[in-house]
Structure formats: structure tokens, C-alpha cells
Amino acid sequence: MSNQKDIDRRTFLELGVQGTIGLGLSAIPLISISGCAGNNTQTVHGACYHDCPDRCSWKVTTLNNEIQEFQASSDNPFTAGKLCTKMVNFPNDVTFHPDRVLTPLKRVGKKGEGKFEPLSWETALSEVSSKLSSIISRKGGEAILPYSFGGNQGLVQGKAFPNRFFAHIGASQLERTICGDTAVAGVMATNGQTTGVLPEDIIYSQYIILWGTNPVLSNQHLWPFIQQAKSKGAKIVVIDPFQSQTAVEADWHIQPLPGTDTALALGMMNVILSENLQDQDYIDQYTLGIQELTEHVQKYSPKEVAKITGLKEQTIFTLAREYAKAAPTLIRVLIGMEHQANGGSAFRAIAMLPALTGAWRELGGGLMHMTYELFGQALNWDKINLPAPIAKPSTRSINMIQLGQALTDTVLEPPIEALFVFNSNPVVTTPNQNLIIQGLEREDLLTVVLEHFVTDTARYADYVFPATSVLENWDILTSWGTPYLNINQPAIKPIGEAKPNTEFFRLLAQEMGFKEEYLYEPDIDIVKSVLDSEHEYLQGITFESLKKTGWARLNIPAKWIPHAEGNFNTPSGKCQLYNPDIEPALPGYTPVKYSAEELATYPFHLLTIKSTRNFLNSSHANLDYLIEKEGNPVVDISEQDAEIKGIKDGDQVKVFNQRGEVILKARIRKKVRQGVVCLPQGFWPSLTKGGSSANALTDDMLTDMGGGAAIQEARVDILKI
């Protein structure tokens, strides 16, 4: 996928609670920091660990290991003094929450029942270690599967250690592709890099297309910059089959059928090229394959594209003309659309548009995607990826999206006998929920989960280990949505018996008798060694300076116009309208084929969207007050479809297919397309009526590029119950 050196997006990416402190912030009288420089008062800097493009910075003031203040940094221009509703009460919501796991736990009930009893770290580690040793000697390391994702995006807690430990034991490798990889593969195929326009430069744009992204909710700190552009006259266009919170705010909401964006982008190119609206000089100098592309887009006339996308022909004409004539124009893409089967091609095609119109020439013009590559260049990745050489390339790898298949596969050799889950909650977040549960129910599977809470995945664990929260451990955090680097200093000592993920793996390595030094490196040393780089972007940024300021903007030029004169990171150095190294060399729209019978059985295209303001994926979706704020999950359906199905607004319905069913209330909405139904992603099945949530219905099919998840390509029926 990426030609970066070994960097994926992430590198950059009823239980016995013993010793629960249950101490809430509200229980602590807040004191003012100034004038209270008692010996034990200290303020440290930290940053949000969530899988969120904003990567907010904060300050924590403590007195005698108790938190006095938890505040967003007002000096970080992107955070701008505000944390979102998900994080603003973090100390109470997670660190001091009474349900938090604070000791190791061992299962005493049936798998899934959620019954555990506390046990000591010594006993728990010794039991897990001897089971692992037995699996390794009988079946080899590949019978062990780590399962982790962006639950903690810190380089130390999320990446460095677990990777070392699992590489050391020769565990199966996990393809961590559920978010970003398809989008990145598509953009890379065209531009050779994903870093385009930087977020704060959106203010210079005059025409902004938010294509399959929902910043009002998912990228909240970008939204004020978009509003600033709007106040300076920019037109805001949203392209999204769903009426997202952002679509409501837009000047123009274009609603194509799900998964048809490749056709829409090619249709725009058809109009631009046939009406001579392109920047021919830019094309001649900095692109490859205009002739092939011009021929290719003949198939995508507005008339044809209107049929595919369900849009009016005039919409395609107007969008293409407005886009080509305005300046500077910016297309903001993030992740949304990648979860369609055709997602990679969509990103590939969309990434071509700014080259056709020469939008790249101006500040605020071009494509805005991710920023993680800047950190890929700046930091010392050899230290994080250590010891890369011991992970044998021949070691089996399993795609995380097909976890259910992997756990239930009866011919897989060796079968997966142990699963380690950390920084992820696959029962809620991974497609084909019921197959995953079936796998987790296997009596012969050892499941170990490191967590803050007994999540719906942890309920199936044999052992749960208490992980520290971000306020209790060291880390260093890059960003995929900003150019700001953050340090995270522990503000308080670990609560109860919680330990950082890293410490768990150090202790397990010790228990298993491993001697290699790289398995024991202290967290703070990892933070320092990542910063040990001569790269110009890191000049003046040191461990000491970061400790003082908390965050730093990488030393990238203030006026960042990466492709004003080409400079694409492709083999040709040009924007690849035609890419001879990829099959097919030109992106095309290929619908998923269903038989007439399948379409009749499951007539609706299901979207399961991260539309919850108060949850971050499945995180925080166990907090009563946030569940209440969010309201009960509903399925959105169009007036016409509701009438056909005899469904009235507020009726209880079941949404179902061959994989599962979800019970919720129907909400009839004008702005839902006929043939499409939408329900929110994030709710936990155990806290949902009927015991199932969105991913009970989704398919574990892979996308066209990057091994991603075609989560949004699911078909269902809906019935009033």
C-alpha cells in the first residue's frame, strides 16, 4: 500500500473492583493553580489518545496525586481551548469511573456472561504464561493472535511494545486495515502521498467539497476553520448519501447512492474535459495519462452517471462546472467512503480532480486527506519498529476484518488457540458480530483482554487485565489530522492495580523467561528515542521542550503548497491519472453484483455510520449519561419505503439479514434515499434492546484496495414487529 518505510496509518500511528477509588472530579474542590505552588502541585501536559483526527492537547494539574484541573490547551491553535463532549469529563468518565477494571480478573461464568473474580497479577500472569508456553510448544507461535486497533493511538501504549512481544513469540500478524488503509491506498495510487493541503489552510479556500466526511461530528476542531472560510465567502458542498450533521450545515448537500462516488468523480471529469474547463498547462507539466483518462471518462457521461448515482444529470454538470471555475477549491476526504466495496477506486478518482483543474497551484487548493506522513518522515521509527528483523515476513497474517472467520475456521492450521485483545472492542466494532461471538464462545480458545472496562468483548475473556488510562502513563502521539506532535506525561500514579499495556507485556515476557533487552525498554526511553532524529521537521523539538510545551507544530514551511509544481511522490513524479502499476490502470465503477433473488430478499442498502456525537467508536458508549444524551438508536428510513413496509414513525422494527438482526425504532426522514436505511454505529449489544448492534448486520467482505472493510456494503430487510 504505502511506500513509506514500514509505517502504517496507526504507527503514526458485575465484577469485583478492588481498591476502587471512585473518586470523581466533582468530589474534589477545584483550586486555582496560580498562587498555589505548594510543593506537591504540578501541571503536566497530555493529549487525547483517541482515534480522532483532532488529537487535542490538554493540561492536568494535580495536588498530592489528585487531579485538581483537567483543561484543554488554549495555546494549541487546533485544540483552541476546547475538548469535545466525549473527553471533557474524561477523569470521571474513565479514570475514576466506578465500573473501571482495577485488578486482574478471571472468568468464573460462561463465556459472554461477564462473571469474573479478581485475582493477583502474579497468579494471573503465571496462568496466562503457562498456557501460552503450552500453545507455543504444541502448535507454534502462529496459534496466537494479537487483536488491537486505534483504542490508544500513543506510539508507546499502542504500538511499540505489543509489537515487540508478539514478533518475539512468532505470533500470527494482524492486518490492521479497518480504518484508513483503503482511503490511503486510493490516494497513494494517484498522488503517491496522502499529505495534501494542511487543515488550517482550509480557510483560504473558496469552494469546499466535504466528500464522504462529517467534520461537525468526526473532526470537530476542523469545523471552525471551515466556518471561517465560509465567512470569507466559501461555498460548502457535502457529498454524502446520508444527511449527516455536516450535510445539514452545508450550502449544498448532494446525496448520491452509497458506493457510487467513483462514477460521480469520473462524471465530473467527463464534464470538465469535454467543456474544456481543465488547467491544460498543469496537466501537461505534472500529470501522467491524460489521454487514457480522457478516453476512459467517455463511459461516464452525466447521463450514465445520473443512472448510477441516482442524481439528476444537472447536478453533475453544475458540480463539475462550479468546481472547475472556482478558486481555490478544496476537496476534503477522510475515511467515510472507504467502507464501500468500491472505496479505493473512489479515493483514487477523487484525488485526480485537483490536478485536472490545477487547484494544487494555490494555498488552500487541492485535496486534504491525512497528515501522518509528516511524522513518518520526522520521527525515528526504527526505534518504535524495533526489532523489525525478528518478525519473520513469512509469518502468517490475518486480516482483522475477518476475525470471525479466523476464529471459527475449522481448517486453519494452526488454529487460533489464543487471542489477545487490547486497544479495541471487536464485538462492537468489527463486521459480522455474531460470527465473532461464535468464535469467542469456543471453549478451547484462550482470550486475554487488556481494558479499562468489561466491554462486550471483555465479557468473553478468560482473563481481563486492568490497563492504565492516558492520565496514568507516558506516551508520545503523532496525528493523522494535524501537523502537531504531542507528549503525554502521566499526571497521577496508576489507580488500583492498573498497569500500562507496555508493563503487561514486560511482565509477561519476564514470566515467560525471555531475556532480550528490547522486551524491557522503559516507556520514557521509548518516548525519548522516537525523538532522536535529525530530520528538519523535528529541529528544536526535544523531550525537554515537549515536556514544557506539551505540543509542537512540526517545522514544516508555514506556506505549505505541496504540489504547486508537481512533486508527486509517484515513480514518475507526476499525478497518475493512469497508473500502469495497478490493475486496472484507471479507476472504474464496479458495483457489487447481487442476484435478483438476493435483492428481493434484502432490498435495502444498509449504512451503519459513526453518527454518535458522544461516543468515539464504541468508547464511552457504556456511560449512562452519554447514552441518555445520545438517545436510543433508531433506524432512518425514507417516507416511500416506510409506506411500502407499513412502518410508521416510532414503530418498533427489526432490521435483519442472514447474519443477524437489530431491534430498534424507525425514524422516517425525508432526506433518506429510497432503498437505503441507516443506523448508528457504536452502541454495545449488551446495552441494546435485542442484544445486537450495527455490526451484527455488516459483512466482512474486503474492499477493492488496501485490504479494508466494505462495512457499508450490506443488504438488509426491515419489518415492523
Give the interface with ligand MGD as residue ranges (CB under 6 A): 49, 51-52, 149-152, 157, 178-179, 211-214, 217-218, 239-242, 244, 258-259, 261, 334-337, 339-340, 422-426, 428-429, 450-453, 455, 467, 501, 607-610, 612-613, 615-619, 681-682, 694-695, 698, 711-712
Q: How far is the CB of 449 from ligand SF4 (least distance, A)?
A: 22
Rounded CA separation 225/203 (Å) = 6
Residue 540's Cα: distance from chain center in Å?
30
Minimum distance from residue 168 beta carbon to ligand SF4 (Å): 32
Neighbouring C-alpha atoms within 13 Å toward the C-beta of 616: 23
Q: How far is the CB of 54 from ligand SF4 (least distance, A)?
A: 4
Among ligand MGD, ligand SF4, Mo ion, none, residue 618 binds (CB under 5-8 Å by kind): ligand MGD
383 binds, among ligand SF4, ligand MGD, Mo ion, none (CB under 5 to 8 A by kind): none
Cell numbers at 469, concatenated: 488510562
Beta bridge partners of 487: 476
Indicate which of ligand MGD, Mo ion, ligand SF4, none lies near residue 495 (CB less than 5 to 8 Å, by partner kind): none
248/671 Cα distance (integer angstroms): 10
CB contact at 8 A, 501 and 423: yes
| Whole-number Å distance between alpha carbons of 600 and 538 | 58
Of residues 180 and 364, the one with the C-beta less far from Mo ion:
180
Q: Of 38-67, which residues contact Mo ion (CB under 5 A)?
A: none
Q: Is 13 in the site for Mo ion (CB under 5 A)?
A: no
Q: Closest CB to ligand MGD among 420 and 568?
A: 420
User: By C-beta, is 56 or 416 nearer to ligand SF4?
Assistant: 56
SS3 370: coil
Toward ligand MGD, which CB reaches closer, 203 or 436? 436
> 293 CB contacts (<8 Å, ≥6 apart)?
269, 273, 352, 577, 578, 586
Told to check if 609 binds Mo ion by CB under 5 A, we report: no
Beta-ladder partners of 398: 174
Q: Least distance from C-beta 486 to ligand SF4, angstroms? A: 10
Where does this chain bind ligand SF4 (CB under 6 A)? Answer: 48, 50, 52, 54-56, 83-84, 86-87, 220-221, 616
Neighbouring C-alpha atoms within 13 Å toward the C-beta of 113 = 10
The label of the residue with cell 442524481 reads 311
| Secondary structure E strands in 39-142 | 41-47, 57-63, 66-72, 105-107, 116-118
Nine-digit cell string for 583: 490493475
Q: Based on CB atoms, which residue is closest to ligand SF4, 54 or 462?
A: 54
Nearer to ligand SF4, 152 or 608 (CB): 152
Closer by beta carbon to ligand SF4, 145 or else 226: 226
Closest separation in Å from C-beta 637 to ligand MGD: 15
Does 400 help bind Mo ion (rule: CB under 5 A)? no
Say how many CA atoms lie within 13 Å of 552 toward its Cβ: 22
Instruction: Please report how close the Cβ of residue 473 comes to ligand MGD at its closest, in angstroms.
Output: 7
626 binds Mo ion (CB under 5 A): no
**Cα-based distances in Å from 102 to 247, 450, 469, 619:** 42, 11, 11, 18
Q: In the structure, how many helices (H) and strands (E) does the chain have?
A: 26, 27
Q: Could you tell me the smallest distance in angstroms from the CB atom of residue 472 to ligand MGD?
A: 9
Q: Which is nearer to ligand SF4, 220 or 329 (CB)?
A: 220
48 binds, among Mo ion, ligand MGD, ligand SF4, none (CB under 5 to 8 A by kind): ligand SF4
Say if CB 198 and CB 483 are below 8 A apart: yes
Q: Which does 83 bind (CB under 5 to 8 A by kind): ligand SF4, ligand MGD, Mo ion, none?
A: ligand SF4
Question: How far is the C-alpha of 479 from the C-alpha of 153, rounded, in Å?
Answer: 9
CB of 414 to ligand MGD, least distance (A): 25
Output helix, strand, coil percentages for the chain, rounded to the nearest 5.
35, 20, 45
Q: Which residue number, 479 or 619, has a Cβ lying nearer to ligand MGD?
A: 619
Q: Kindly report the length of the chain.
A: 721
Question: Toward ligand SF4, which CB reaches closer, 44 or 697?
Answer: 44
User: Under rule CB under 5 A, which residues in 563-602 are in contact with Mo ion?
Assistant: none
Q: How far is the CB of 561 from ligand SF4 (least distance, A)?
A: 27
What is the rounded distance in angstroms from the CA atom of residue 391 to the CA atom of residue 396? 11
Sheet holding 475-477, edge to edge: 475-477, 484-488, 551-553
Q: Which is nearer to ligand MGD, 489 or 681 (CB)?
A: 681
Q: Which does 613 bind (CB under 5 to 8 A by kind): Mo ion, ligand MGD, ligand SF4, none?
A: ligand MGD
Least distance from Mo ion to the Cβ atom of residue 335, Å: 5
Secondary structure (3-state) at 604: strand
Residue 337 interacts with Mo ion (CB under 5 A): yes or no: no
Per partner kind, with CB cut-offs from 5 to 8 A, the member of Mo ion, ligand SF4, ligand MGD, none near residue 87 is: ligand SF4
Site for Mo ion in 221-260 (CB under 5 A): none
CA atoms within 13 A on the CB side of 187: 25
Cell of 235: 461555498
Q: What beta strand segments (E) does 114-197 contain?
A: 116-118, 144-148, 173-175
Which of 646, 617, 649, 627 has the alpha carbon at shortest distance from 718? 646
Q: How far is the CB of 298 from ligand MGD (least distance, A)?
A: 24
Among ligand MGD, ligand SF4, Mo ion, none, partner that 55 touches (CB below 5 to 8 angstroms by kind): ligand SF4
Which distant-in-sequence residues (6+ apart) come within 8 Å of 575 by Cβ?
190, 191, 286, 287, 288, 351, 352, 355, 563, 566, 568
Distance of CA 674 to the CA centre of its chain: 29
What residue is closest to Mo ion based on CB? 179
Q: Can you say how many angstroms the Cα of residue 610 is from the centroid of all Cα atoms in its chain?
A: 10
Cβ atoms 541, 483 nearer than 8 A: no
609 binds, among ligand SF4, ligand MGD, Mo ion, none (CB under 5 to 8 A by kind): ligand MGD
Phi/psi for 652 (5° steps) reads: -80, 130
C-alpha cell at 230: 465560509
Give the SS3 label for residue 353: helix
258's contact among Mo ion, ligand SF4, ligand MGD, none, with CB below 5 to 8 A by partner kind, is ligand MGD
- Tell me whether residue 102 or residue 202 sits nearer to ligand SF4 (CB atom): 202
Nearer to ligand MGD, 692 or 695 (CB): 695
Question: Which CB sits closer to Mo ion, 179 or 351?
Answer: 179
Question: C-beta of 304: minimal distance to ligand MGD in Å?
Answer: 18
167-206 residues near Mo ion, rule: CB under 5 A:
179
Residues that bind Mo ion (CB under 5 A): 179
